[in-house]
Amino acid sequence: MRYTDAGIALIGWSFGLVTSVAGIVGALGGAMVAYRLTARNAKWLIYMPAFGLATALPVAMATFLVHGFTSIILLSGLLFAITYAAVPPLYAAIQQIAGPRHRATAIAVYFATVNLLGMTIGPLVTGFLSDVFAASWGGESLRLAMLTTSLALLPAAVALVIAARRASKEWSGPLDYEAC
């Protein structure tokens, strides 16, 4: 509502619809692409999320910099599709690394970390930065805060690339789905 003349109902319905559809399409598309890529090399379970997060950064920056209702909604949809495409291979990588006896614990630790950082600390940091930027940027402070916190995508992508490079030799060949 800060950057567009659209009403809250239109914004809510549009954002919800577009990002929901984009998330579903992204997750299904990401799973299908990961399945094909891992037939060649299992490390794609890690490289694909890294690529997704790295690709999401410029899209997130564009999303938070554009003006206009349609542009914001469409870029948000693209952002959701890209980030959700990274999720299935990331979950599969966690499960593959943990092994059968530790899969539940591994995914629980992952979800606890994501929720702590992304859904608890992330909004607090964004709000804090928005307050800090308000003195200089006024009504644009939230946009700048969201832009700043989206930079966290870059070290996450780098960490995944490092993890993929350090993956053991057994990850160098195709993923054996029958053995999973």
In a domain, residue 59? The reply is: yes
Domain enclosing residue 38, as ranges: 8-171
Within a domain: 179: no
At 124-166, the pLDDT tens digits run 999 999 999 999 999 899 999 999 999 999 999 999 999 998 8
Number of structural domains found in the chain: 1
Question: Please, which pLDDT band fits residue 7 given cuts at 50, 70 and 90?
Answer: confident
- Flag whether 97 is in a domain: yes
Q: Domain containing 129 — which CATH number? A: 1.20.1250
Q: Is residue 68 part of a domain?
A: yes
CA proximity to 97, closest of 42, 48, 52, 155: 42
pLDDT band for position 2 (cuts 50, 70, 90): low
Number of Cβ within a 10 Å radius of residue 140: 15
- pLDDT band for position 86 (50/70/90)? very high
Helix (H, G, I), strand (E, B) or coil at 41: coil
pTM greater than 0.75: yes
Helix segments in 39-102, DSSP class H: 44-65, 69-85, 87-98
The pLDDT confidence band at residue 177, using thresholds 50, 70 and 90, is: low
